[in-house]
Structure 1
Amino acid sequence: MVHEEAIDSVITLKRNEAIGQFDLFAGFEDQEPQASLSTEIPDLPEWEKKDKLAFERDMLGLYVSDHPLQGLEGVLSQHAEQSITSILGEDGPHDGAIVTIAGMITSLSRRIAKASGNAYARAEIEDLGASIEVMFFGQVYGPIASVLAEDLIVVVKGRLQRRDDGAVTLNCMELSVPDLSESTNGPLVITMPTYKATEAVVTDLRDVLTTHRGNSEVRLHLQGDSKVEVMGLPVHLRVNPTPSLFGDLKVLLGPTCLDT
């Protein structure tokens, strides 16, 4: 790691300074930089979007550069009765209400109840606005135990529990995994300015689409100064519209390239 090398490069110097061994002329501008303080920054490739977002979540507790659900608004709204933000609000559904949410499992812990010895799980499920704790108990948990995983996009129907301390949780009654190809409710529309449509960019775009091959039609909108040219891409460039695809497209063409 670069930061570790940088730290190591000054340890000896700082140790010597601490015992009184230092260069009296170190502060003069014409002093040659010390080789021990030189750290070469390697030319490393950019992280994959999913890795970068995972690091952001682990280090900062939130996503900064993007959101893994960006581009999936259609499939979330199709399956969820309401957003998690509206559920958590004071004027949200009452204690005991049955609600259906859709989002991504951002954390998952599996446990054994001390009293009964039964297995259960606790998950944090997040949509584009907020997150909520979801509990999986008993007969509900057993059949889906092997399905549950972090970063999985799910639809959960459950009973809302509002505690006296203000905490809101959801006890799962049913869980399903949505078909992400429904996310666009039609063709995937990619918008690109005409000046970006160089041979190199078009080649990279084709590579991205073939990497995420699927059954969803792709349409390319070439945005000119005064008109938009719409192109339907061939069948062999159909895609599986997943968060990974959306991330690759945004890296290549910019954050506003998707018409969602």
Structure 2
Amino acid sequence: GRRVARNAPKYEHAIRFGLGAIKGVGEAAVEAILKERATNGAFTDVFDFASRMLESGALNRATLEALIQAGAFDSLHPNRAQLISGLDVILGYAQSVVRAKASGQNSLFESAAQEEITIVKPALPAVDDLSTSEKLALERELLGVYLSDHPVRPYARVLAGKTVPIAHAAEREGSTITIGGIITSVQTRVSKKNGSRMAMLTLEDLSGSIRVMVFSNVYEQYREIIQKDRVVLVRGKVQTSEFGNRNGEGSGTVEFRADAIELAPEPSSVDDAPQVYIRVPRCHLDQLRQLRQVLEHHAGEAVVRFEVVVAGARRIVEVPQRITPSPAALERVRQMLPQAQIRLENVPSQAS
């Protein structure tokens, strides 16, 4: 992550994100922050940061706001909403400190340090923090990437059971599949011929991103769903792009042509989904292949997880296929894996 309070050498084995990558924070401001930190030590809190940087002449309201929204102060103050709401309070305190130091330097009887001690740090507004989705949206806007987390992560189980990972889409060129993820951008175009509207989306999951073409007939049907920051499932065909930008860039790349779009089920509803646990002491590869055919033949909404023992430790492996846990399907599994123990969760009694 990006931090104003710490020096880089301690984190040589970690992924760091430079302050200069934050939109609205100029190179001069970054250099001033690094110089101040190297000269006078780490910043102790946001008030200390604001007063020291304001004194150096390298801080304004827009820069401080961008740093807060990007999460640069999370290690010092994790409630970003409180800092955003308290911008005027923070800057007011910093101005008071700067004035006090200037006054102290001109006095024969008191030092700047003594003057500074008398300035009490004000309380920040009592507000709830931003939601995770709000934080991630700001990170995407200011950094160009999701940094502290990914908005699709809570939907991982939903997507695993219903979609092909975007990173594997190229392998399915020409096929009709379902992909899913968060819409990170929406661009619309209006036809000069008939005034119809189409859209180009960027869809991103945990594995990658892809351009999605939504032509006019599909766009009109699903336009209410097509909104930035929504997590959706998109049914369509993988194809090679025929279109590029104005400079001809982007043509020949893999893209997705949408036929149908729906909102992804909320993660909370997946927690209540029916689940089938199959515990097996051992299993041969040919049995797994046959079992996959059984799961595909009895496709449904129940999550299937295998409990296996590897090197003396019990592991749970979730498979991408989902099943309808009917008596016939479960009996077929027992026939293939006589030693298997099957446990059902959130499954109506008549299904077992």
Q: TM-score, normalised by structure 2?
A: 0.42
Identity %: 27
Deviation at residue 120 of structure 1 after TM alignment: 1.2
Deviation at residue 58 of structure 1 after TM alignment: 2.3
Structure 2 vs 1, CA of residues 176 and 47 (structure 1 numbering), >3 Å: closer, same or farther? closer
Deviation at residue 173 of structure 1 after TM alignment: 1.9
Aligned length in residues:
181
In the alignment, does 2:143 pair up with 1:65? no
Counterpart for residue 177 of structure 1 = 263
Deviation at residue 136 of structure 1 after TM alignment: 0.9
Task: Note the alpha carbon deviations across 1:127-163, whole angstroms, 9 max, x for none.
Answer: 1222222121121211111232333332212233435
Contact kept, 8 Å, 1:102 with 1:154, in 2: the verdict is: yes
Counterpart for residue 79 of structure 1 = 162
Counterpart for residue 118 of structure 1 = 196
In 1, the alpha carbon distance for the partners of 2:150 and 2:113 equals 48
1:53 to 119, 122, 136: 136
> Which has the bigger relative contact order, CA under 8 A and spacing at least 6?
1
SS in 2 for 1:141: helix
Q: How large is the Cα RMSD of the aligned pairs?
A: 3.8
Deviation at residue 101 of structure 1 after TM alignment: 0.6
Q: Which structure 2 residues correspond to residues 131-146 of structure 1 after superposition, within 5 A?
A: 131-146=209-224
Contact kept, 8 Å, 1:83 with 1:101, in 2: the verdict is: yes
In 2, the alpha carbon distance for the partners of 1:145 and 1:102 equals 17
1:6 to 90, 94, 107: 90
Structure 2: stretches of 5+ with no match in the other structure: 1-84, 242-248, 276-352
Structure 2 vs 1, CA of residues 138 and 54 (structure 1 numbering), >3 Å: closer, same or farther? same
Structure 1: stretches of 5+ with no match in the other structure: 188-260
In 1, the alpha carbon distance for the partners of 2:149 and 2:131 equals 12
Task: Note the alpha carbon deviations across 1:108-129, whole angstroms, 9 max, x for none.
Answer: 3433233442111222222122
Contact kept, 8 Å, 1:53 with 1:68, in 2: the verdict is: yes
Q: Which structure 2 residues correspond to residues 198-213 of structure 1 after superposition, within 5 A?
A: none
**Greater Cα offset, 62-71 or 117-126:** 62-71
SS in 1 for 2:225: coil
Task: Note the alpha carbon deviations across 1:48-95, whole angstroms, 9 max, x for none.
Answer: 233222222222223233333223222212211x2112236xxx344x
Deviation at residue 182 of structure 1 after TM alignment: 4.2
Counterpart for residue 231 of structure 1 = none
